[in-house]
């Protein structure tokens, strides 16, 4: 089965949750991203900067000539969460497209999986300035982790 099918309807299923988290926590952008061999593709977008990433927009991964690796690409490759406190001061991330093109240098992302545990994409938050992911009750960190688990369950059911 084409893994693209796993993401059909994701925006419809999770848009309200993303909108609520973005509003409640004041983060610039919340995204569900689908991984392809060469790109990260936006499946759903929320927050004040949601027009930066439209569903279907594709960012080139570092495997493409002349492209810097993407935050989400690392999450997918390593199958673990990633936090970048401030890409502007981090040499590993200074050339990242999200920072260079959109000014979004703070990142927190979680991998999304199918029922077999294969990484399909990410759930992530991006912000223009350093952001306290632990503020609030529940914190955005906790809320994203829990939402990623719920999305994993949904993706597993789609593939089932």
- For residue 10, what pLDDT is reported? 78
Which tokens in the block code for residue 102? Answer: 């959109």
For residue 31, give the nearest of 80, 143, 39, 41 by alpha carbon: 41
Q: Indicate the number of domains in the chain.
A: 1
Q: Are 9 and 32 in contact (CB under 8 A)?
A: no
Distance, in Å, from the CA atom of 126 to the CA atom of 55, rounded to the nearest integer, reads 16
pLDDT of residue 9: 77
Give per-residue pLDDT as tens, 83-140: 999 999 999 998 899 999 999 999 999 999 988 899 999 999 999 999 999 998 899 9
- At 57-86, the pLDDT tens digits run 999 999 999 999 999 999 999 999 999 999
Q: Running DSSP on this structure, what letter comes out for residue 130?
A: -
pLDDT for res 135: 92
Give the pLDDT of residue 2: 44
pLDDT of 13: 87
CB 56 within 8 A of CB 42: yes
* DSSP character string of 58-90: EEEPTTSTT-PPPHHHHHHHHTS-EEES-GGG-
DSSP run (H or E) holding 37? none
Q: Whole domain around residue 96: which residue ranges?
A: 3-159
Considering the entire predicted model, what is its pTM? 0.93
Quickly count: other Cβ atoms within 10 Å of residue 101's Cβ.
10
On whether the CB atoms of residues 102 and 115 are closer than 8 A, the answer is no
Q: Please, what is the Cα angle at 11 between 8 and 16, to 5 degrees?
A: 150
Tokens of 18: 């993303």
Query: What pLDDT score was predicted for residue 142?
Result: 96
- In this predicted structure, what is the pLDDT of residue 113? 94
Here the CATH number for the domain that contains residue 131 is: 3.30.450.40
> What was the pLDDT predicted at 1?
36
E strand intervals along 3-158: 29-35, 39-46, 58-60, 82-84, 106-113, 119-127
Query: Which tens digits make up the pLDDT trace of 2-42?
Result: 455 567 777 888 999 999 999 999 999 999 999 999 999 99
Asked if 50 contacts 56 with a C-beta cutoff of 8 angstroms, the reply is no
């Amino acid at each position: 089965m084409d893994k693209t099918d796993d993401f059909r309807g994701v925006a419809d299923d999770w848009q309200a949750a993303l909108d609520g988290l973005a509003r409640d926590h004041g983060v610039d952008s919340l995204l569900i991203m689908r991984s392809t061999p060469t790109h990260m593709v936006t499946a759903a977008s929320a927050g004040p900067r949601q027009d930066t990433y439209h569903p279907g927009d594709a960012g080139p991964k570092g495997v493409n000539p002349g492209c810097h690796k993407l935050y989400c690409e690392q999450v997918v490759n390593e199958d673990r969460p990633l936090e970048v406190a401030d890409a502007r001061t981090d040499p590993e991330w200074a050339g990242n497209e999200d920072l260079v093109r959109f000014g979004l240098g703070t990142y927190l992302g979680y991998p999304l999986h199918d029922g077999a545990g294969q990484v399909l994409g990410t759930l992530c938050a991006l912000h223009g300035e350093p952001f306290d992911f632990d503020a609030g009750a529940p914190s955005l960190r906790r809320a994203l982790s829990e939402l990623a688990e719920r999305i994993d369950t949904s993706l597993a059911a789609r593939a089932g």
